[in-house]
Structure 1
């Protein structure tokens, strides 16, 4: 599939997460160039592919969904064909565990452990006040639409496969200013992708890594390689805009952590994630 074909498709994320079984527990997938940050495949998209492979490996337990995906990033692959190898470590009525390796050629790019279980459906028994609760449910009038023509869109190609709007009051780096290491945005899959419950669920997993590095608000630009990422999927997202906040509490000399919190259109927490990443070289 060419880049032009993907841009005119109505279901690019469905295409990304479509797996072809090529062996016992082994699957093939194709990553289009839009699912990249710069020249490399977006980490959240690889998380979603690992989750899809784990779910396929447990196809007999259709009610179990990827509630946690923990990944180590070993190699940064190029867009193109990848292979996923899934090994079931535990089958349970409440929780199952599947190890998944995503490879390109002879190199393993991601080594992940996917925990599958039952998603929340009822109201939370307890919930602390959430910083995103006061954020408008839909993008504000001044929200920055990340299109292919926008400078950010020329690097964050992932925005071509969904609708991504940035809150300019948080992303001060867009105006050449510095501030707290926080980013806020609105995110939504294309209508065809959103209409399929399984695709929408995997899209939410991907969204746990959607933000540009929050170090950019501290004047630190450049590639921030992910060392490890863990994403928790709490419930199925309601249709509509997701509200996303990314933040860091400690930016060290070499490493920093970046947390994502995502609410769906109904105001429910659907995703939480924590990433350990490296400070751009030369800073």
Structure 2
């Protein structure tokens, strides 16, 4: 991948938030009491991260995560839960944050993203509750039975341009596809040629198209970046997220990520997706779970 300087990448530019109303104590050191501090941020949501006519939930989570990282006393998301209330649209939006509690090692806050509709009314799009800390301060003590799934090499996986003869390329299917350096495990890509496995799995190598290395903020994008597992169940169309929780466990090592997503229960028009994100050093760096709606029939 070509290397891009962090801070100048497409992802960084498209997640910029600008503080509108400084909250009291916003510049305090970690451990200071920010409780009750309020802040508001302006953001211009980019259409480059859209799927069909809606913006990707992981991109939106990263935008909100950036605002909370500025508003709270600690820099890194540890756990963040978003409820997607209405579909966000490209264009101006406002994020309002509130610090709920500040402790020595963790800070908890909430954020809400709102937009103005055609009538001039303010509409809340997303509401988030999150706890932040300092991933760099955590002890390197790992005791886990989790291991990454076996997967073909990056070179032996399928990119957006690797459509068989006569099949449409995925490269132009949505704006967001061009933002990614993503290659799907062939075992979970049969849906692209009308041959889904029916298992509800999705696996891929994942990076950003401009080569930006990953950090905790881009992991919020990664937990919701792969095609929906509903495709592997033989369903198509938009699968809107109702609720998404991400746990960020470690700062990722440089290089591509491997992302594994699975659903085991599609019932009554809703499915869950469980996600694991592994870095180039075989570290489990993020986990996610979401509830999504599937339009049947």
TM-score norm. by structure 2 comes to 0.82
Identify the residue that residue 97 of structure 2 maps to in structure 1.
Answer: 86
Is 1:230 equivalent to 2:264 in the alignment? no
Q: Is the 8 A contact 1:148 1:160 kept in 2?
A: no
Is 1:36 equivalent to 2:50 in the alignment? yes
Distance in 2, Cα, partners of 1:262 & 1:14: 20
- Spell out, residue by residue over 1:20-46, the C-alpha distance to the aligned partner (whole angstroms, 9 max, x if none): 111131111112211111111110011
Q: CA deviation at 1:193?
A: 3.2
Q: CA deviation at 1:260?
A: 1.0
Distance in 2, Cα, partners of 1:158 & 1:239: 22
Aligned to 2:286, the other structure's residue is in SS state strand
Q: Is the 8 A contact 1:36 1:42 kept in 2?
A: yes
Please tell me the root mean square deviation across aligned C-alpha atoms, in Å: 2.2
1:153 to 1:127, Cα distance in 2 relative to 1, 3 A: same
Q: CA deviation at 1:219?
A: 1.0
Aligned to 1:53, the other structure's residue is in SS state helix
Which stretch shifts more, 262-271 or 147-156? 147-156
Q: CA deviation at 1:131?
A: 4.1
Identify the residue that residue 63 of structure 2 maps to in structure 1.
Answer: 49
Identify the residue that residue 119 of structure 2 maps to in structure 1.
Answer: none
Which stretch shifts more, 15-24 or 152-161? 152-161
Is 1:153 equivalent to 2:171 in the alignment? yes
Q: Is the 8 A contact 1:41 1:79 kept in 2?
A: yes
**Equivalent of 1:275 in 283, 286, 290:** 290
Is 1:115 equivalent to 2:131 in the alignment? yes
- Spell out, residue by residue over 1:237-280, the C-alpha distance to the aligned partner (whole angstroms, 9 max, x if none): 11101000110011112211011111001110111000001112
Identify the residue that residue 182 of structure 1 maps to in structure 2.
Answer: 201
Q: Pick the structure with greater CA Rg.
A: 2
Identify the residue that residue 142 of structure 2 maps to in structure 1.
Answer: 125
Q: How many corresponding residue pairs?
A: 264
Identify the residue that residue 6 of structure 1 maps to in structure 2.
Answer: none
**Equivalent of 2:256 in 230, 241, 247:** 241
